[in-house]
Structure 1
Amino acid sequence: MDQTLSKLRQLIEDGCADAEGRIPPERVLSNDLGVGRRSLRRALDILEQEGRIIRHQGRGTFVHGATAAESVRPNGSVGSAINLPDMMSAGVPRIAFQEILDHTNPLEVIEVRLSIEPVMARLAAFRASQSDIKRLQSLAEETKLASTSAVYEAADAKFHRTIAEAARNALFLAIFDTLHASQRDAGWRRLGENANCYKRQSVHADFHREISAAIAARNGDRAQEVMQQHLSDIQRHIYQHAFPVSGETEQ
């Protein structure tokens, strides 16, 4: 079961959805993944409970989140997957995703990440599957051994998103994807977490190892603590880039 779920997650991450966010039908997925239909349905049930996919009778199964270009809402209407979740309370203004990106900056992003990612790491320690844990450990090693900044950035992004997925909270995941999308612009990257990341790569990778070890040990307190330390370290470097002190040299 865990193997089927892991394969299905990877297939979705690799972009199996079409332009509307629809993933292939069960018989195709079963053949592509080499798994039984019963095991596949259980895996799809889990992804639906997590809010990762939405099933709409007569239309198919759709990815909910940044992976797909569009998604289908529970009421059947189609909307951009890069809007804030529909779970916002009635009467609260819905701010378009692009407007958010136009009016925020890396300092705000890291403040929000500090508010949610340590909690997600704690939840992941209790809810992660064995396949999630193995993937985290592998990605932590990838960040350690990355030979270029681009390779590091890719592994780092996958590491943090795997924790968000393992937390099994659809709203946290939606917020995480919104924050992550804001960091794709080249201008942001000069000031964000991965600014001069090759110099800081070893430091970040050590944090990744500690976080994955805590999650593997089901130690929620430790996972939360180390993630807090990791993001606080990133915040400090963002502030150094944003507000450099005259004559100060980077450590």
Structure 2
Amino acid sequence: MTSDVLELGLRSAGAQTLATYLLTEIRSGRIPAGAKLPGERELGERFNTSRGSVRRVLAALREAGWITQAVGSGTFASRPAHEPSAEWGDSDLFSDQTSPAELMEARLLIEPLMPALIVRHATRSDFARMHECLARGEQAQTIEDFEHWDGALHQALAQATHNHFFLQVLALTNRVREQGDWGRLKRNSLTPQRRTEYERQHRTIVAALEDRDAEQARDALQVHLAQIQRNLFEPPVG
């Protein structure tokens, strides 16, 4: 890993420490691809280094393909094209063998456990990311864009647990969602009325989390996932 840091051209000790941390966490999968990184100020305070050093680290990581940055959205973990994914090892095999029905059964059991951790650990930046996903999902003009931001919201929820187990579970969930069967079911099941209901449910979940009401958030998440499960396998009426 030291050689990786040297290849980034960083000289100060603080910058090298920060770069080593980010490279290690992203490469190992503990910070999964797509996860939003803390802001520059938070990183600077955590690693006792200047904002300028933080910017140089992020610029170097961006050039190397380890992060992406979007104006107004933030900084997100990524992986260079030549780097294999560290998540789950044989996750391609697992995801190929997991059907949408199995995925929804598992999500109904696992995801309602997240609110208890979210209300305990979520930061302002976590909630800001949730609200960004809510807004971008509601503005989406296509099913594909809506599905992207729907997935991003559930990823933001997992990230807000600050628990690596849930991040790894979500990484596998996203692999299954990328399969053709999931996309076909979602396209066939997502009517304008159902999308509106999903958006309302999303806001109810996030509002309960912001109120630090784990029980209400858990109940709202269970209702949301149960409706997704019904809608996926029940064709729209009319």
Deviation at 1:127, TM superposition (A): 1.5
Which one of 148, 158, 168 corresponds to residue 174 of structure 1? 168
1:54 — aligned with what?
A: none
Q: Which runs of 5+ in 2 are unaligned?
A: 1-21, 29-38, 50-65, 68-76
Maintained 8 Å contact 2:113/2:218: yes
2:196 partner letter = S
Q: Which moved more, 1:202-211 or 1:117-126?
A: 117-126
2:210 — aligned with what?
A: 216
The alpha-carbon distance between structure 1 residues 39 and 114, as it changes in their structure 2 partners (threshold 3 A), is same
Maintained 8 Å contact 1:113/1:231: yes
Q: Which has the higher helix share?
A: 2
Measure, in 1, the Cα distance between the counterparts of 2:232 and 2:48.
43
Q: Is 2:121 aligned against 1:127?
A: yes
1:239 — aligned with what?
A: 233
Which one of 157, 178, 189 corresponds to residue 184 of structure 1? 178
Deviation at 1:250, TM superposition (A): 2.4
2:71 — aligned with what?
A: none
Q: Is 2:47 aligned against 1:41?
A: yes
Q: Is 2:79 aligned against 1:68?
A: yes
Deviation at 1:234, TM superposition (A): 0.5
The alpha-carbon distance between structure 1 residues 37 and 122, as it changes in their structure 2 partners (threshold 3 A), is closer
Q: Which runs of 5+ in 1 are unaligned?
A: 1-15, 23-32, 44-61, 71-77, 85-95, 242-248
1:111 partner letter = E
1:250 — aligned with what?
A: 237
Deviation at 1:120, TM superposition (A): 1.0
Matches within 5 A, 1:81-96: 81-84=86-89, 96=90
1:106 — aligned with what?
A: 100
Deviation at 1:41, TM superposition (A): 2.1
**Between Structure 1 and Structure 2, how many residues are aligned?**
179
1:197 — aligned with what?
A: 190
The SS at the match of 2:170 is: helix
1:6 — aligned with what?
A: none
The alpha-carbon distance between structure 1 residues 67 and 113, as it changes in their structure 2 partners (threshold 3 A), is farther
The SS at the match of 1:182 is: helix
2:34 — aligned with what?
A: none
Q: CA RMSD in A?
A: 3.3
1:131 partner letter = S
Maintained 8 Å contact 2:114/2:161: yes
1:29 — aligned with what?
A: none
The SS at the match of 1:81 is: coil
Per-residue CA deviations over 1:169-205 (Å, capped at 9, x if unaligned) read: 101110111111111123321124x644352211110
Which one of 139, 144, 147 corresponds to residue 145 of structure 1? 139
Deviation at 1:207, TM superposition (A): 0.6
Q: What is the percent sequence identity of the aligned residues? A: 26
Maintained 8 Å contact 1:183/1:189: yes
Measure, in 2, the Cα distance between the counterparts of 1:37 and 1:173.
20
